[in-house]
Amino acid sequence: MSQPIASSTTASPFQGAIGVFDSGVGGLSVLRAIRAALPHEHLIYVADSGHAPYGDQSEAHITQRTLTVGNWLAAQGVKAITIACNTATVVAAKTLREQTHLPVVAIEPAIKPAVVLTRSGVVGVLATRQTVQSAAVARLVELYGADKRILLQGCPGLVEQVERADLHSPETEALLRQFITPLLEQGADTLVLGCTHYPFLRDTIQRVAGEGVTLLDPAEAVARELARRLANNGSLSSASQQGHVQFFTSGDVAQAQAVMSHLWDAPLTVQALP
């Protein structure tokens, strides 16, 4: 049984920062949106790449990793945690919320806005196998998809392509065609990017799907919700200077630094997760 998460009582260089984590590098797409919406906040990003992809792991393992990373972030003195991983959200967000005193904002597939935007009445959801098989996604489909067709498409292998920064190769495009073509053949005109790794494949996804297909990425909505939660509890930063961002990984540091610098479009320093 995991112990309840407690805040740090000792001074930390990360005191009052916002913690953001994903199974790997994909959550940088959410971090980018948070950085744009809350430029004065200090941010800590954890890529749990040593245990990626979560989408192929058991629910017990995903929950254990979510609580382990959440515990570590809380121990650093963060004021909020953002789960930038759809799989971790649908499997373990409820458990993390039950065990932490902190605001927890978690991404989930953007099915609700998709059913509003679709013109054909058919929505495709691209996600990991764990996400599409989860009770949480079944609940979203039941709540919002009553008069629409919601097609859930597991996409094994895509996370690994992004973890290698292999965004534009023929192999990546072939995988995307394999997953997207059946959705288009069934009339989907709106595709939900149900994994935070997938926005880094957006250009190729759009090319495969066609310009008439709408792509939905909920990262900006997550950033807005985080800002709202912090404003409501009076914990928004009052600083006038730009906040700093610290990057950690549970995987190979050199590889993470190379891939994350590429995806972040700037050189950055990645530290090993203790």
- Show which residues are catalytic: 85, 195
Residue type, 251: G
Residue type, 50: G
**Short-list 33, 14, 18, CA closest to 264:** 33
Give me the residues paired with residue 64 across strands: none
Burial of 88 (0-12, 13-18, 19+ CB in 10 A): buried
CB 131 within 8 A of CB 90: yes
CB 29 within 8 A of CB 217: yes
DSSP 8-state secondary structure symbol assigned to residue 268? -
CB 221 within 8 A of CB 19: no
**Short-list 54, 59, 19, CA closest to 243:** 19
- For helices 170-185 and 202-209, angle between their N-to-C axes, nearest 10 degrees: 50
- Edge-first strand order for the sheet with 245-249 is 104-106, 80-83, 18-22, 43-47, 245-249, 270-272
Give me the residues paired with residue 246 across strands: 44
